[in-house]
């Protein structure tokens, strides 16, 4: 596929908003920053259902789903899907994911230790259409979360090493159960710096194990060759792309193994191709 030409395969689904901080990576959580920026009068720690809760099942006037078949649905991006406060609502979400087996649902979590207690009865070895990204930001959280993550019944796993706060050794956890490692620095005016050496070291570990690796953004303060750079928000993604260090990564913001299946589904579903730029 030519550069810049991509399928319009993404959708967003945010069933609830608001989250409580649980680990060092949460310190400058973007949900809190955005709520403050938009002058929200409700506490960011107050988790509440959104009007889009049932979006996967919502239909247009012509009867078609608002989220068309074949979409990659980024799920619960201003909270944590496994947040305790959302326990009463999650079973309905699993049901919707099950019902919409024609879409893929992708969520990231810092609460992977809760997944076993949150799974639906028919989960089995995992739903085929659910991708789970386990977020790790430092070695301590990696060593706690990743053994749990690898032991769980999940069909599609990725590691999200972001915001990367220090050099990480992920090599004990990299095997063919991991479909991708994605990493990046922290955004925001108070962001903690990310060192390019840490990124390159993670890449080396992935290459050695032949695990796809993606450098998705620099963050606001980026150290390269011992020198710190301030990177404006609008350049943080493009600068990472310019580094051109992704390994075994396709055109899409999802693990390649899944992307290849999605292309197949797209053709079957007859989804129209559009030219868009990734965010
Ligand atoms: S888990 Fe995610 S959404 Fe929740 S406070 Fe931490 S960074 Fe924010």
pLDDT of amino acid 3 = 39
Q: Is the CB of 79 under 6 A from ligand 1?
A: yes
The candidate with the shortest Cα–Cα distance to 76, out of 138, 127, 31, is 31
Find out whether the beta carbon of 21 lies less than 6 Å from any atom of ligand 1. yes
Write the residue with the smallest CA distance to atom 6 of ligand 1.
Answer: 26
The pLDDT of 13-37, averaged and rounded, is 97
In which element (H, E) is residue 16 found? strand 16-17
Residue with tokens 């659910």: 130
Percent of the chain with pLDDT over 70: 88
Q: Is 82 in the pocket of ligand 1 (CB under 6 A)?
A: no
Nearest CA to ligand 1 atom 4: 19
Residue 157 φ/ψ, nearest 5 degrees:
-120, 140
Tokens representing 72? 């990659």
CA distance 249 to 228: 28
Q: How does pLDDT run across 181-240, given as a tens digit for each residue?
A: 999 999 999 999 999 999 999 999 999 999 999 999 999 999 999 999 999 999 999 999
H helices of 30-176, in order, are 30-37, 90-99, 115-118, 139-151
pLDDT value of residue 36: 95
260 pLDDT exceeds 50? Answer: yes
- Say which residue the tokens 């947040």 belong to: 83
Band of pLDDT at residue 4, cut at 50, 70 and 90: very low
**Could you tell me the residue ranges of all domains in the chain?**
10-269
Give the pLDDT score at 74: 96
* C-beta of 35 in contact with ligand 1 (< 6 A): no
pTM of the predicted structure, to 2 decimals: 0.90
Contact 38, 32 (CB under 8 A): no
pLDDT classification of 1: cutoffs 50, 70, 90: very low
Q: Give pairs for 237-245: CB < 8 Å, separation 24+.
A: 237/278, 237/279, 240/184, 240/215, 240/216, 243/196, 243/199, 243/215, 245/199, 245/200, 245/203, 245/213, 245/215
């Amino acid at each position: 596929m030519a550069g810049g030409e991509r399928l319009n395969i993404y959708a967003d689904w945010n069933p609830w908003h608001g989250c409580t901080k649980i680990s060092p990576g949460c310190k400058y959580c973007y949900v809190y920053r955005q709520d403050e920026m938009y002058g929200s009068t409700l506490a960011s720690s107050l988790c509440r259902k959104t009007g889009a809760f049932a979006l996967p099942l919502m239909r247009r006037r012509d009867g078609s789903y608002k989220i068309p078949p074949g979409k990659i649905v980024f799920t619960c991006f201003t909270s944590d899907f496994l947040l305790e406060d959302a326990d009463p609502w999650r079973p309905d979400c699993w049901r919707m994911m099950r019902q919409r087996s024609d879409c893929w649902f992708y969520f990231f979590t810092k609460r992977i230790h809760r997944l076993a207690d949150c799974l639906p009865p028919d989960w089995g070895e995992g739903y085929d259409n659910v991708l789970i990204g386990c977020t790790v930001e430092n070695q301590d959280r990696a060593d706690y979360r990743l053994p749990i993550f690898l032991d769980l019944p999940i069909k599609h796993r990725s590691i999200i090493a972001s915001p990367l706060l220090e050099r990480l050794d992920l090599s004990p956890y990299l095997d063919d159960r991991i479909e991708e490692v994605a990493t990046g620095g922290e955004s925001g005016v108070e962001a903690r710096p990310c060192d390019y050496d840490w990124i390159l070291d993670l890449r080396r570990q992935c290459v050695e194990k032949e695990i796809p690796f993606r450098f998705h953004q620099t963050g606001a303060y980026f150290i390269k060759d011992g020198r710190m750079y301030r990177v404006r928000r609008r350049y943080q993604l493009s600068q990472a792309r310019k580094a051109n260090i992704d390994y075994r990564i396709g055109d899409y913001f999802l693990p390649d193994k899944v992307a290849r299946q999605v292309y197949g589904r797209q053709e079957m579903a007859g989804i129209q191709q559009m030219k868009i730029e990734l965010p």
